Chain A
């Protein structure tokens, strides 16, 4: 049994890295049929695979197209396993509200960060793109988020990031949420200037930053 379990986890991990959605789904069904714990299968199988994908991305072996297709395989497996999770295992994840700020519709970067955060055990609330500053704050309050993640590729929308911080300060909520920013024109100095809690240069960085901020 232990051997079978290890093999299935390895298969799940490989299916993600190999971009093999069918295999991810098939193996996930097998996991359930064998009565193996779904949570463990996600952790040690699918998420493990996505971690390897993140490494390959860091090493410039994989690029955005590969990461997206790998994540399709991961999510397809998660869909099969999810109904079999026991309630208590899903609780107490750190929550992140994420989106592309108003005035911009470039969302590949944001989607990448979302995928990486989810695989790293965060509960991600994705607002989408072209999102007004106030909406980030409202959603963060509503779900009790720990982190607000703001993304943009356009310099024209950078002021919207500043606006989010300003709204938080004005409504005395600044201490409740960590604000992290990223995207093409963003830099550490810009993050400092607007009073954000951190800047990440890429998706892997965003995960490290998020972990640091909530630890």
Chain B
């Protein structure tokens, strides 16, 4: 990964099937065992990396870790990804009660930090280790509930700004702790998607906070990958302006269009369908999807990382993850468009 980044010789393009709780399957653990157990979380992600040999480890269990540390209630099914049971506040009237989280004390944040530290110590020399960080606007949606947040945008914008500000404070503290652990924050901002809010609302409520977060991470000498789910084509330029060095796009967005619009400014990552192809497809479906992504983006001026469009579902078959890596290996580097064509039709 760092070799590709520096423009040194590599034998294939970087490839990142975004493995989340699938790591539990690699070590035969139940997803809920990750709760409060940084050692196991690290072990699972290290073993998953060793099994599949991808290029970025991302310590991740769910999107709610910071919101939980700020008082949201998260439900942990025994063996599935956790989900938000109750936001931190019943109404925005209680806003004054909200405190930014202490990453060394609150919720599961200390355990995630422990996992990041262990992973960096064990394999940090050979692979990039990142820690998932849910961005200000999305985290704010877990503090009052998504529907209340989007209503507030029109009814009480000031409250939304206050929520984002306090989310950002938690984000900055957590980002600092992640970087102090020797790791890089990996930014996720699901709610900032144009599937939910307009580009104008993104600009008003999400962008300013995102930019401050990215500025901080840059000030610590780390580059930033920003993932936003769903439709994003109308905010790519904004994502770049906010400072993202790499944007990770979902399958609702088109790599070719992204390359044309912002490829000169930013590295692209994506966008094999996590559910339809990676979870439910065959190895051959994966191969075709990877080749299709490659043909669109292999020559992106600022570089390209073959990846899934979003975190992989827990039960994604191992063979499909292997198929993704195998395909990228077979294509090799530098990518020969004729070979790509041949593999696609063959």
Q: Which residues of A contact B (CB under 8 A)?
A: 19, 60, 62-66, 68-69, 72, 103-108, 111, 154-156, 158, 184-187, 189-190, 193
Q: Give, as a whole number of angstroms, the nearest-CB distance from A202 to chain B.
A: 9
In the complex, which residues 188-216 of chain B have their Cβ closer than 8 Å to any Cβ of chain A?
194-198, 201
In the complex, which residues 105-160 of chain B have their Cβ closer than 8 Å to any Cβ of chain A?
146-147, 150-151, 153-155
Determine the distance from Cα of A63 to Cα of B231 in the docked complex, in whole angstroms: 12
A69 touches B197 (CB 8 A): no
Q: Give, as a whole number of angstroms, the nearest-CB distance from B77 to chain A.
A: 6
B276 touches A187 (CB 8 A): yes
Show 14 A/B contacts (Cβ-Cβ < 8 Å), sorted by A. A63-B194, A65-B150, A65-B151, A66-B154, A68-B147, A68-B151, A103-B77, A105-B83, A106-B83, A155-B279, A156-B77, A156-B80, A185-B279, A189-B280
Q: Give, as a whole number of angstroms, the nearest-CB distance from A144 to chain B.
A: 29
Chain A residues lying within 8 Å of B155, measured Cβ to Cβ, are 69
B275 touches A155 (CB 8 A): yes
The yes or no answer to B284 lying at the interface (CB within 8 A) is: no
Q: Which 7 A-B pairs have the closest CB atoms?
A: A185-B275, A155-B313, A65-B150, A156-B80, A63-B198, A187-B276, A65-B153
Known: A103-B80, A154-B83, A189-B280. 5 other contacts (CB 8 A): A106-B146, A155-B279, A184-B275, A187-B273, A193-B280
Most central of B80, B83, B314 by chain A CB within 10 Å: B83
B147 touches A107 (CB 8 A): yes
Most central of A66, A155, A186, A193 by chain B CB within 10 Å: A155
Given contacts A105-B85, A155-B274, A190-B276, contact A185 B147 (CB under 8 A): no
Chain A residues lying within 8 Å of B234, measured Cβ to Cβ, are 60
A19 touches B85 (CB 8 A): no
Chain B residues lying within 8 Å of A193, measured Cβ to Cβ, are 280
Query: For residue A62, which residue of chain B has the nearest CB?
Result: B198
Determine the distance from Cα of A107 to Cα of B147 in the docked complex, in whole angstroms: 8
The yes or no answer to B84 lying at the interface (CB within 8 A) is: yes
A60 touches B194 (CB 8 A): yes
Contacting A65 at CB < 8 Å: which of B195, B201, B229, B315?
Answer: B201
Determine the distance from Cα of A147 to Cα of B325 in the docked complex, in whole angstroms: 42
Q: Give, as a whole number of angstroms, the nearest-CB distance from A205 to chain B.
A: 14
A63 touches B276 (CB 8 A): no
Chain A residues lying within 8 Å of B83, measured Cβ to Cβ, are 103-106, 154
A154 touches B197 (CB 8 A): no
The yes or no answer to B223 lying at the interface (CB within 8 A) is: no
Query: For residue A187, which residue of chain B has the nearest CB?
Result: B276
Query: For residue A61, which residue of chain B has the nearest CB?
Result: B198
The yes or no answer to B32 lying at the interface (CB within 8 A) is: no
Query: For residue A70, which residue of chain B has the nearest CB?
Result: B154
Q: Give, as a whole number of angstroms, the nearest-CB distance from A203 to chain B.
A: 11
Determine the distance from Cα of A16 to Cα of B313 in the docked complex, in whole angstroms: 39
A64 touches B154 (CB 8 A): no
In the complex, which residues 84-104 of chain B have their Cβ closer than 8 Å to any Cβ of chain A?
84-85
